[in-house]
């Protein structure tokens, strides 16, 4: 088995994939997706569940966001997984010398204290949405509505993994978000990067072949 404990190059795509495998956030086997498909791999960012993991995850996100060139004034993390993601990313950006505000939403409006559904910095300027993955695009749509209702401008989406998998039509969930909302989407890694990673690890050839077959059936052209 290849050693997944040490990243190859800090904050590279391959390093992130190794990191995700090490933390068992990225697993191989047979998993049923929300679409009812049997996928040979599964990604669950909720398993980045300790301080060191969250710190590293924020650094990976920050590197991908900076590399994307998306211009933004603040971050928005949709409840619930987006909340720790946004917090970890603004900490990583602050370590780079850029102090960025962030906000997140409650699932239910609060009728006392400060009230409302938005917690954190006021929504203003260009707002970058951060989440783990885009499946049906529901979280992005809700975030866009909240940001727009707050008088700010949604400017893009940052996710951890782009599965590059067809939705209901010929486009992937990410492509659908880009088309419907006109928002650029950046990711730390995608399915192609995962395949490239596995090609360099012969001991995982069976996983590579299974994912290639899955991509042939459900991947975008």
Catalytic residues: 110, 112
**HEC sequence for 147-186:** HHHCCCEEEEEEEEEECCEECCCCCEHHHHHHHHHCCCEE
User: How far, in Å, CA of 85 to CA of 9, rounded?
Assistant: 22
Nearest to 79 by CA among 155, 25, 131, 133: 131
User: How far, in Å, CA of 28 to CA of 18, rounded?
Assistant: 13
Other CB atoms within a 10 A radius of the CB of residue 194 amount to 26
The enclosing H or E element of 13 equals: helix 13-22
Structure tokens, 162: 């782009």
Nearest to 86 by CA among 117, 24, 136, 128: 128
Helix residue ranges, H only, 32-172: 51-68, 82-95, 138-149
Does the CA dihedral 88-90-93-94 come out positive or negative? negative
């Amino acid at each position: 088995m290849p050693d997944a404990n040490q990243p190859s190059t800090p904050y590279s795509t391959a390093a992130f994939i190794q990191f995700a495998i090490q933390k068992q956030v990225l697993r191989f086997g047979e998993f049923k997706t929300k679409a009812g498909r049997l996928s040979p791999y599964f990604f669950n960012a909720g398993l980045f569940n300790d301080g060191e993991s969250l710190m590293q995850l924020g650094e990976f996100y920050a590197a991908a966001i900076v590399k994307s060139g998306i211009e933004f004034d603040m971050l928005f993390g949709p409840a619930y997984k987006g909340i720790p993601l946004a917090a970890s990313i603004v900490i990583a950006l602050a370590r780079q010398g850029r102090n960025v505000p962030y906000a997140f939403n409650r699932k239910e409006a609060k009728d006392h204290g400060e009230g409302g559904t938005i917690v954190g910095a006021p929504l203003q300027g260009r707002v970058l949405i951060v989440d783990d993955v885009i499946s049906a695009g529901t979280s992005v749509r809700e975030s866009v509505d909240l940001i727009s209702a707050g008088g700010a401008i949604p400017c893009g989406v940052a996710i951890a993994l782009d599965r590059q998998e067809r939705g209901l039509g010929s486009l992937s969930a990410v492509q659908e978000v880009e088309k419907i909302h006109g928002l650029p989407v950046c990711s730390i890694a995608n399915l192609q990067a995962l395949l490239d990673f596995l090609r360099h690890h012969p001991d995982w050839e069976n996983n590579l072949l299974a994912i290639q077959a899955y991509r042939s059936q459900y991947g975008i052209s």
